[in-house]
Each structure stands twice: as structure tokens, then as C-alpha cells.
Amino acid sequence: MNNYIINNITQLVTCSGFSAKHGRSMSDLGIIENGMVVISDGLITYVGHAADSFPVDNPDAYEIIDATGKAVLPGFIDSHTHLVFGGYREEEFSWRMKGDSYMSIMNRGGGIYNTVRATREASFDTLKSAAKVRLDKMSAMGVTTVEAKSGYGLDKATELKQLRVLKALNAEHPVDIVTTYLGAHAIPTEYQGDEKAYIDFMLRDVMPVIREEDLAECCDIFCEKGVFSTEESHRFLLAAKEMGFQLKIHADEIVHTGGATVAAAVGALSADHLLQASENGIRALANSETVATLLPCTAFSLREDYAKGRQMIDAGCAVALATDYNPGSCFTASIPLTIALACIYMKLSPEEALTALTINAAAAVGRAGSIGSIDVGKKGDIIMLEYLTYKFLPYHVGMNCVERTIKS
């Protein structure tokens, strides 16, 4: 059934809007006490106060949900994940706990390169089956849309295999998938020392096939010392934009390179990570429509300082939150942990954290016009908490408060 009437909602949190919220506006949740939402054929057709009579022609065609004592929110959007991969890297986690750095492990053939080997060896069906299980777990935590990247092939065949897995899952699974090509996740062995040639290879041999098969909406690059420079990232992203891709960038994660400034200059949907973003980079994001997507679980897992979320919001940035689910630096898809870390250690308010996982996350994947808030005309992506207020999300630390997820 795609028809629902959710009535007697103790706290209806709409996060109303059709674009990213910047700065202080991130605290505006558009709350309706004692509310009602109607979903007809998968789309929201009514948002308002509870009533005994329903604003529909045939109430018998609707499932009626009594949400007395419950908070109802927009579905969460996890706007940065790497959920299709082969193998695991549990041994590397132990190495990091003993003091090895993420980049030192990568430089000796571990890290991304370890997952590349396993993903190249994995079959399409193996990758798809594992990713489906991961999506099911995300849905149980209230995720209704997820961004997912390739980037564990670094060759044509495996990158296309990852993207085709995601396209198949998007057609079959209730959770919507926004797919991103991340061939520029690292420099493959055969191109070491010649980043320009690898970028040329992607632009010439891989990305035209992606466009032809409609395998990805977005294109991403890891702008980082020892990976791709700001100049290379700028060139690559502008070329991708000309090919019709929307843009994202891994920026200023390990060291400050100026990736945030590149993101704003090329009109990227989002600049992600930003642990080392400078004041100039933060200012550039605040003066742009590029969303600052912060990934606190990664900083937590790597034992690094957190991104300056409080400073970014105070500067006027539009901030989103995401899990960065991947097999290496952040092997978790936990929305509850993401919320807790954002509030406790990055100093976001509960209201800002919720905006960051809904309407701002929708903007970070280019879909703020159709998801991310409870507004008439948008998809009926709704979650119901087991508690009467959204404030339990950070308060019930690390625990899943979602009682029910409705997708369209």
C-alpha cells in the first residue's frame, strides 16, 4: 500500500524547505504539535494538524496509523557512503589502534588498495548480495535515500561493475540510491607518478560509458596530499561537469589542501570530510551553495580531530551529516552514532543535526526538491520514532530510536 494517513502525531517535525538551510536557519525544524500527514500514491498530499475527518476522498484506501506519543520526521538521507565493496580490513583497524596512520597503511599497499584487490575479485552477485544486506540495516535506522560511490576498482571493468550493482539495487530495493563515480579515489599502481594520464583515462575511457548507461549522477575525487592535487581536482571536476555529472569532492580530510575552495569554485553539490578546512575554505563554502558534508564517525574511527561543525554553521555554511560507511576508515552505517558524535563533539544542536541529516543532506545529493522534508508534493519518506520528541535522537546515545520507516 502506498497510501497512509498518519494521525495524532504528538510532534510532527517537517524540516520544511526545498533547498539547503544555512547557518542559523538550520535550527528551524517547522514543528507541528498534534499533527497529521497524508501520503497518497507515495507522495505527500497533506501536512497539518490532526483531525477526526481525513482530507481524502476514500479513507478506506489508506492505512491509518495512530502516532499518539510519537515523533514523526522526514526519512534520513545518508549522503556519503561506499557501500559496495569486497572484503574487509579488520586487521588494519588493529594496526591503527597500535599507532599506524591511515596514510602509512595505504602507502604500503593497504587501505583503499586492499579493498580494490578484493572488489576486483568479487563477482557482481556477491557484491550485490552484500550491499543489499547493508541497505536493509540502513533502512531499519530510518535511512530512505543513500548516496553510494564506486572507487574500489580504479580500472574500467570493476568501476563499471560497482556502478551496475548500484543501478540494479536502486531498481529493486525500497531505499533510493544516488550513485557517484569515484574512480579518482586513489591512483592505481600502473599510473603511479602520472596522475594526469590516469585522469585522461577516466575522462576518455570510463566516464563516457557511465553516461551512456546512465550509471551515475555524480562524480567525485579524493583531493588530498599524495593523491590528487587541487589543480588536478579542479581540472577533473570541470571536465566531469561538462559531461553532465553533478560534482562532489573529498576535501581537506588528512591535510589542508584547499579542497573546500575548489568545491565552491566549481559549484559542487558538496565538499565532504573537511577536517582540515581553513577559515578561507569555510568562508568560501558559506558564500556558496555547496553543502559542507561532515563525517564524524570517520574522525572517531581514525582518532582524528573532528571537523569544525560549530564554526561552519556560525559562519553561515549549509552543513550535512553522513556516515562515510566503508570497509576501512569507517566501518559503520550508524545514524545514531553519527548524531551523537555531531552533537557531543562537534557541538551541533539536536535541531542542526536533524536538519543536517534531512533537507541539507538532500541538497548534498541534488534532491532537495523531492525529498528531505515533509512538504506537500515530496516523496512520502517518513520515519516514526518510538519516543514523543526528536530530542531523543542524541539523548538516547548510539541507540536506534526509529520504530517504523515508510518509504514513499
Percent of the chain with pLDDT over 90: 92
What is the average pLDDT across 160-181?
98
Mean predicted confidence (pLDDT) in 59-82: 97
d(CA 7, CA 382) in angstroms, rounded, equals 13
- Report the chain's C-alpha Rg in angstroms: 21
Q: Cβ(219)–Cβ(181) under 8 Å?
A: yes
- Relative to beta strand 31-40, strand 71-74 is unpaired
Region 40-52 average pLDDT? 96
**Residue 358 pLDDT > 90:** yes
Is pLDDT of 387 > 90? yes
Rounded to an integer, what distance in angstroms lies between the CA atom of residue 196 and that of residue 211?
A: 21
What φ, ψ does residue 227 adopt, rounded to 5°? -120, -100
The answer to whether 336 touches 400, Cβ cutoff 8 Å, is: yes
Amino acid, single-letter form, for residue 376? V
Q: What is the mean pLDDT of the chain?
A: 96
pLDDT value of residue 328: 92
pLDDT tens digits along 254-290: 999 999 999 999 999 999 999 999 999 999 999 999 9
HEC sequence for 376-406? CCCECCEEEECCCCCCHHHHCCCCCCEEEEE
What 3-state class would DSSP assign to 12?
A: strand
Which of 315, 245, 246 lies closest to 284 in space, CA to CA? 315
Domains and CATH numbers, the chain: 4-74+372-406 (2.30.40.10), 77-364 (3.20.20.140)
Plot region of 313 (φ>0 → left; ψ -120 to 50 → alpha; else → beta): alpha
Give the C-alpha separation, 268 to 251, whole Å. Answer: 11
Q: Is the pLDDT of residue 218 over 70?
A: yes
Nearest to 43 by CA among 357, 382, 359: 382
Is the pLDDT score of 58 beyond 70?
Answer: yes
Structure confidence at residue 103 (pLDDT): 74
Cell numbers found for residue 165 = 550493482
* Mean pLDDT along residues 212-219: 98
pLDDT at 25 over 80: yes
Q: Say whether pLDDT at 348 is over 90.
A: yes
* Helix 230-242 vs helix 259-266: crossing angle, to nearest 10: 20
Torsion angle defined by CA atoms of residues 365, 368, 370 and 374, in that order, rounded to the nearest 10 degrees: 130
pLDDT tens digit string along 94-152?
A: 888 888 887 777 777 678 889 999 999 999 999 999 999 999 999 999 999 999 999 99
pTM > 0.75: yes
Q: Tell whether the model's pLDDT for residue 90 goes beyond 90.
A: no
DSSP 310-350: HHHHHHT--EEE---B-SSS-----HHHHHHHHHHTS---H
Cβ proximity of 66 and 8 under 8 Å: yes
How does pLDDT run across 319-334, given as a tens digit for each residue?
999 999 999 999 999 9
Alpha carbons 355 and 77: distance in angstroms, whole number: 10
Say whether 137 sits in a helix, a strand or coil: helix
**Angle at the Cα of 199 (from 193 to 200), degrees rounded to 5?**
110
If 0-12 CB within 10 Å is exposed, 13-18 middle and 19+ buried, where does residue 88 land? middle
As to burial, measured by CB atoms within 10 angstroms (0-12 exposed, 13-18 middle, 19+ buried), residue 168 is: middle
List % helix, strand, coil for the chain (3-state, nearest 5). Answer: 40, 20, 40
C-alpha–C-alpha distance, residues 237 and 248, integer Å: 8
pLDDT of residue 1: 66
- Residue 206 DSSP class: I
Q: Between helices 156-172 and 124-140, what is the axis angle to 10°?
A: 50
Residue owning grid cell 566549481:
266
Cα–Cα distance, 121 to 130 (Å, whole number):
14
Q: Using DSSP bridges, classify how beta strands 4-13 and 71-74 pair: parallel, antiparallel or unpaired.
A: parallel
pLDDT of residue 364 exceeding 90: yes
All three cell numbers of 186: 586513489
Looking only at the bridges linking them, the beta strands covering 291-294 and 319-321 are: parallel
Poorest-pLDDT segment among 39-48, 49-58, 202-211, 260-269:
49-58
